[in-house]
Structure 1
Amino acid sequence: MFYQELEKIIETSDYDKKFELFYKLYENIDSYNFTSNEKPKIFEKPSYADFCEIVHPARVPRRRGFETDEKKAVLLHAIVHIEYSAIDLALDACYRFRNLPKEYYLDWLEVAEDEIRHFKMMNSLLEKTGYKYGDFPVHNSLFEASQKTQDLLSRMAIIPRWYEANGLDANEKIIKRLQKTNDPFAKEVIDALNVILKEEIPHVSKGDKWFKWECERKNLDPLKTYFEIIDSFFKDWKKKDLNVAARLKAGFTCDELKILSNKEINC
């Protein structure tokens, strides 16, 4: 029942209904059994496909400026989309990988609950601009990454330890950019982003924990394995302007950060 209900939640595109179903499952988590011999399905489309136009990343509206309601909405819509995608990704982490310790499922359901709250917070700000989720085209890079990571090791490496960790860097940059404007609305957005930044660190940390757990179970070296996976997914992945403090809190080592940035890191 646990996995069947998760499948229904993930595929539900009405997000109010999705959240209602999630909270019902989450409130009764102690009644579920996580043992299953059934093979999980690979989802063919993301749940937001029913109300968002999906385009190539190059065709997504550019986030430039904060002077008009439309420019504010473009930025907020992009963040709302990331938060919505993160909900389904956290749920899929529970759905796809079975017969693991109960702690694993509790971790990712907790992440899903946080992401729902983040989505609601940012969506409320978006709607203040007069726009709503689905008014701008979106890309499905995160969904495609989930399709390509059908084993626990690559999923933990690519989703939380790559994409969500990148979010720690991007969040900090957006906050710094918004701090340069005197718009009172920017302060509301900054306050929300600071909450998200603080709470996303434990999300990356959970990915770090279960990535290293799986490395230990398979007798693999975490550092070597991580970069082997990254190399297999991305051609040119050197990073700039890492949020070093946040990444260290999330479990990244100094050696990893030096490799990621290709420079000395003051840890």
Structure 2
Amino acid sequence: MTNQFTITSLRGGATDAIREADLDRKTALAQETATRWFERRLSLRSPLDAELPLRPGRPERPELVPPRMMEKRSLHTVKGRIALLHAIAHIELNAVDLALDIVARFATEPVPNSFFDGWMQVAFEEAKHFRMVRNRLRELGADYGDLPAHDGLWQAAHSTRNDLTARLAVVPLILEARGLDVTPSLQAKMIETGDLDSAAVLDVIYRDEKGHVAIGAKWFRFLCARERRDPARTFQELVRANFRGSLKAPFNDIARAEAGLTPSFYRSLTATSNA
């Protein structure tokens, strides 16, 4: 499949992957763009690059509903595990587009090429995660699109589309960091129910996501240092301005700290809300 892609540049390949509605092609294009960029076979930008879409390409299903309409099910049933895996697949799919959007949208920012290396690594791994979860759903007799999903993740991208520092605060340092908090307990529940295959998929995601938060923390601190801003205070200001809702405890302080996100960043925000 990789040879059929015409990729004009890193920004062009990332944009085309965001626009692609066929999810097999989307994930393959994201990974092929990343591979060519890592091999330094692509320029950063080209006049031939397409315009960024307002929303990422998606198939007709799943139906997108408000988060409050998402049904909660017990993980002790196959239907409940399918529902959880479907929700994770949706998160991972959005994470592919969010990583690509950081690259495509901010390709004119004065940052080193290693910034784009990091985010294309994230995009590559999120595409891998989506495929792994989708394959596990299929093994359980289901598929992505069978259940409704919510649309809150892309709204975070929209609200921070004009500010790279705010984007880094909200996407990797809130949304991805949340995965570090909740995934270990989900893994434990999967093991408890005997679903070791799903637990193994979650283990891969958890290990990779720690690296994604670390990439976010690294570049957030880089931008703060360049602007002579205190990282923890800046994070709190940007979250209050750009994130709807509150940060939910308990936090996986150890995993967050290993990724460069210390409690001084987020502890004071647990009751924050501008919704």
How large is the RMSD of aligned CA atoms in angstroms?
2.2
1:55 corresponding residue in structure 2: 65
Q: Which deviates more from structure 2 when the two are superposed, residues 16-25 or residues 252-261?
A: 252-261
Aligned residue for 2:219, secondary structure, equals: helix
Tell whether 2:44 aligns with 1:34. Answer: yes
> What's the offset of the Cα at 1:39?
10
Indicate the residue corresponding to 1:265 in structure 2.
Answer: none
Task: Using structure 2 for the length normalisation, give the TM-score.
Answer: 0.86
Unaligned segments of structure 2, at least 5 residues: 1-7
Q: Distance in 1 between the 2:245 and 2:69 partners?
A: 21
Query: What SS class does the counterpart of residue 221 from structure 2 fall into?
Result: helix
Offset at 1:116?
A: 1.3
- 1:189-228, aligned counterparts within 5 Å? 189-228=198-237
Q: CA offset at residue 155 of structure 1? A: 0.4
Gaps of 5+ in 1: 263-267
Which among 125, 147, 157 is matched to residue 136 of structure 1? 147
TM-score with structure 1 length normalisation? 0.88
Cα distance in structure 1, aligned partners of 2:197 and 2:189: 14
**Which position in structure 1 is the counterpart of 2:180?**
168
Aligned residues, how many?
258
SS in 2 for 1:240: coil
**Following TM superposition, by how much is the alpha carbon of 1:260 offset from its aligned partner in structure 2, in angstroms?**
4.6
The change in CA–CA distance for 1:220 and 1:77 in structure 2 (over 3 A counts) is same
Return the alpha-carbon distance in structure 1 between the equivalents of residues 94 and 244 of structure 2.
24
C-alpha distance in 2 between matches for 1:15 and 1:234: 28
Change in 2 beyond 3 A, CA 1:249/1:40 = farther
Q: CA deviation at 1:177?
A: 2.8
Task: Choose which of 15, 19, 26 in structure 2 pairs with 1:11.
Answer: 19
Equivalent of 1:125 in 129, 132, 136: 136
1:261, CA displacement in angstroms? 5.5
Question: Partner amino acid for 1:174?
Answer: L
Aligned-pair distance for 1:26? 2.5
Q: CA deviation at 1:189?
A: 1.3
What aligned pairs does 1:177-196 form with structure 2 within 5 A after superposition?
177-181=189-193, 183=194, 186-196=195-205
User: Contact 2:88/2:133 (CA < 8 Å) preserved in 1?
Assistant: yes
Q: State whether structure 2 residue 91 is matched by structure 1 residue 82.
A: yes
C-alpha contact 2:18 2:101 (8 A) present in aligned 1: yes
